[in-house]
Structure 1
Amino acid sequence: MYGLSWFCAEQHLSTGAQELLLHVELSEREAKKFADSKLGTECYSIWYLFTRGKGLDQDHMMIRTPTTLGLMHPQATSPQDMKNISQHIFDQLVHYLKYASSAYTPVCPRPNGSTLITHFSDPVAGIVEGFVARDASRKELVLALRGSASFADILLDTQVQLVPLVSPGVSVPHGVRVHAGFLTAWNSVSVQVLAILAEQLLLHEDIQTIVTSGHSMGGSLATLSAVSTKQRFPQCRVMSYSYGAPRTGNKAFAEFFNESLGEDVFRVVHTYDGVPTMISQSLGYHHHGIEYWHNSEPATVKNVVKCDAHGEDPNCSLSIPSSGVNDAHLTVGTRLLEHIHLLNLLKYFGIVATTPFCL
């Protein structure tokens, strides 16, 4: 017998957490049946984990969505009136994914072959983790932020209230609002991270570029960190790469972000990944640009298109019905979130988004 902790989110996370029941004594089979009975009726998606004893130490965590149960398996549509990308851009998308992927690894001595400056985490809960690396050949610093990797992260993800963007050293126009949970997470490490970057810029005067990168929740944190970094270090070019990131703020934020970074934003979505559209526009959210949609397999330059710069392109991933966390978003293993019974796991550019590139 297991203790079952389960978490139910209404369709599109419209009201966040609906129920959190702890330590219900059920067998694994009974637990699956119970959770699946809720799906599609009361819950849009189910997160549940099995524990032994009364702690929340996870022995086994699962995510159930309409896709994982075979209730919905959307297919990517053919792109229309979208721009093809160059091989150079494609290579860059893959290159910075390796940093985002490596951020899931607690110890990464040479992230993507670069020089590790330091790992960091928030000093209280340790929910936010990442690293700063330096690539001397590219004359750049890379700030990589880890995506969701625990039950606590999931609870953070569901804090979907839009709140004013208030962060140390950041000034934004009136009306700019962002995801409360993501802002809290970034603010927990922002002072620490900006100090690390400032020190590196003093030590290495040849640095010209700062790149932020992250997958899933880490992608939204990379977006917020790019805002802070752009304002703190105006002398540097700031580039932001996100992979499978949910909507981060409202339309005013999207417009502000687009104007601040312009063409230096690369928001990547893999085929029918449901996470980028899981937080609904009906809640006041709006994607920033520029989406790069990997619309079909295999992972080649001809299967990636550049979408409309404003962020909500109806011909790109927005054309796919949202199915939440699904096999196209990522598959994370062992003690992380596991997508169960998926035989052919899809990946970002053929890379499972927790693969370490650390040598």
Structure 2
Amino acid sequence: MGYQDIELIPGKQYRAQEVAQLHNLVRKYMRYSTAATSFVELKKGWASCGLACNSPDVQDVVLNYTWHVNVPLSDGLIAVHSRDKEIVVALAGTHRYRALITDISVLTYPYIPGTTMGVHGGFLDSVKGIVDQVQQHLEKLIVDYPDYMVIFTGHSKGGAEAALSALEIVRKIDGIKPRVRVWTFGEPRLGDAEFAEFYNQRLGSVTYRVTSAADPVVAMPPHFLFNYCHHNLEIWLMNEAGDVYVGENRTACYEDPKASSSIDFFYRSIAWHKNYLGLPPPDHAAALFSW
């Protein structure tokens, strides 16, 4: 079967029935994001994350590696799906008290030492803490599965760290870039305008930054703090029906005023952060009792 890119035109609105393939991919990768946030463990197998992992579109997935790191905080997994010919790297969202510390660490650090290119300090610390292990496993997997795509995905904090991890991996592993795709959901802003441009030049054309109706998290951290900006490509799920607007690439700060940024912050609701085509992440209220 294998991964197939979808063709979407920036600046165009689609009715839900026109983008069934997109909807299927959103649901599939949200399930991986759910697994990452459910403390799935290698020894317990893929099905240990519950109902989301038992869906037909993610059956026969084999876990390759999982991690649960406290300092700096990061949880995630690497899985192989032979039917779809995909190697999936999924990072957990905000699901522990300690994760809130990462989220609010909004000071930007230079992404590359000696430059002024700023990236969210909390997300950068988390990714730097696990990227070497991810690299080690991917280097073997891409040899074992030479025709498989490598998908990075995550919801919320996990989305930001998935995008940043993908950027790190294409810098570290020669030849992997043509195989990389990035799917994020409810991703907060990751860095400043200079970093967004840097990201877009490398992965903007293979990134799907999915936003949901009036999700408030995608508007954070606010732009006035350290010039925070989003990267491409925004896929805005406009309503519960799943109508879609594809953000224009060449707008200020890469945020199309006709997409999710058209919603005033005071009209946003956290309920939309937990609803991506009806697929919420795990019960955050319960998960947050873990430190």
Assess same fold via TM > 0.5.
yes
Q: TM-score, normalised by structure 1?
A: 0.65
Q: Partner of 2:3 in structure 1?
A: none
For residues 213 and 354 of structure 1, the distance between their equivalents in structure 2, rounded to whole angstroms, comes to 15
Q: Secondary structure at the match of 2:211?
A: strand
Q: Partner of 1:351 in structure 2?
A: 279
Asked whether the 8 Å contact 2:75–2:92 carries over to 1, the reply is yes
Match of 1:270 among 212, 217, 223: 212
Matched, 1:97 2:27: no
Q: Secondary structure at the match of 2:256?
A: coil
Asked whether the 8 Å contact 1:157–1:217 carries over to 2, the reply is yes
Deviation of 1:189 (Å)? 0.7
Asked whether the 8 Å contact 1:275–1:322 carries over to 2, the reply is no
Match of 2:76 among 130, 144, 162: 130
Which blocks of at least 5 consecutive residues in structure 2 are unaligned?
1-9, 47-52, 284-291
- Per-residue CA shift, 1:61-80, capped at 9, x if unaligned? xxxxxxxxxxxxxxxxxxx9
For residues 305 and 146 of structure 1, the distance between their equivalents in structure 2, rounded to whole angstroms, comes to 26
Q: Partner of 2:122 in structure 1?
A: 181
Superposition pairs of residues 252-263 of structure 1, within 5 angstroms: 252-263=194-205
Higher share of residues assigned helix: 2
Q: Partner of 1:115 in structure 2?
A: 62
Match of 1:218 among 158, 175, 199: 158
Q: Partner of 2:92 in structure 1?
A: 146
Q: Secondary structure at the match of 2:270?
A: coil
Q: Secondary structure at the match of 2:109?
A: strand
For residues 34 and 163 of structure 2, the distance between their equivalents in structure 1, rounded to whole angstroms, comes to 16
**Counterpart AA for 1:314:** P
Which blocks of at least 5 consecutive residues in structure 1 are unaligned?
1-79, 168-172, 331-346
Deviation of 1:126 (Å)? 6.9
Q: Partner of 1:342 in structure 2?
A: none
Cα distance change on mapping 1:119 and 1:268 into 2, 3 Å: same
Asked whether the 8 Å contact 2:11–2:248 carries over to 1, the reply is no
Q: Partner of 1:326 in structure 2?
A: 270
Cα distance change on mapping 1:289 and 1:136 into 2, 3 Å: same
Q: Partner of 1:160 in structure 2?
A: 106
- Per-residue CA shift, 1:23-70, capped at 9, x if unaligned? xxxxxxxxxxxxxxxxxxxxxxxxxxxxxxxxxxxxxxxxxxxxxxxx
Q: Partner of 1:201 in structure 2?
A: 142
Superposition pairs of residues 22-37 of structure 1, within 5 angstroms: none
Matched, 1:233 2:173: yes
Q: Secondary structure at the match of 2:37?
A: coil
Asked whether the 8 Å contact 1:229–1:238 carries over to 2, the reply is no
Q: Partner of 1:334 in structure 2?
A: none
**Counterpart AA for 1:328:** W
Q: Secondary structure at the match of 2:265?
A: coil
Asked whether the 8 Å contact 1:222–1:240 carries over to 2, the reply is yes
For residues 233 and 91 of structure 1, the distance between their equivalents in structure 2, rounded to whole angstroms, comes to 29
For residues 40 and 126 of structure 2, the distance between their equivalents in structure 1, rounded to whole angstroms, comes to 21
- Per-residue CA shift, 1:266-314, capped at 9, x if unaligned? 1111110000102111111000011111111123xxx122111243110
